Structure 1
């Protein structure tokens, strides 16, 4: 059973990556792992996984850098309680964004954009 679930997740991630490429989100980073920076709120986590990370200049607000943190979820069967599953996925994505905001990885990845002198930045969570 675990192998089927793992394979379903891998196929779902690959489909998610293809979707992101189709909408023009190329040259992002796949499969990042960041340390958990809030052991009080996330007591059972040492790291968080980011399926895809895309940084880009916001097309609507000048001088704003957007950090898009993407989490891809896939399952082979429909859950009996979809609302609670969605809530769980959104909570996990919120936790990932929170820890990413305080991570060294964010600083390192964002340095390549510092030459463009952004005045502000946003971190958005995208659930696929």
Structure 2
């Protein structure tokens, strides 16, 4: 059941995952990724407890996008088989270990420049590789 999926105990990750999956289902990857990046860039200039660019949110976004793609590319009669592969968070959202969280704008710019930089692309590739190793996507 869905009760076993806690998204690492973070409600915000659940929201990122579901929103990105829904946007992906009705549009395309470019729109889904851009919406997630825009939200994080907006967070990076904000203040407060949840401010800062958070790559763990990007993990949830991209995981939602990948699940949406997997489901949309699979015939509905095969969905139960795919859903059986999802038993815990670890089957849906990769480990967040070593993924940068809540970086203020200055820190993000110092480490990554912007979302068009090679450094940023490398982090996204690292995230995508982790997602790709999940059983659901490694089929």
TM-score normalised to structure 1 length: 0.32
Q: Which has the higher strand share?
A: 1
* Higher fraction of helix: 2
Q: How does the TM-score come out when normalised to structure 2? A: 0.30
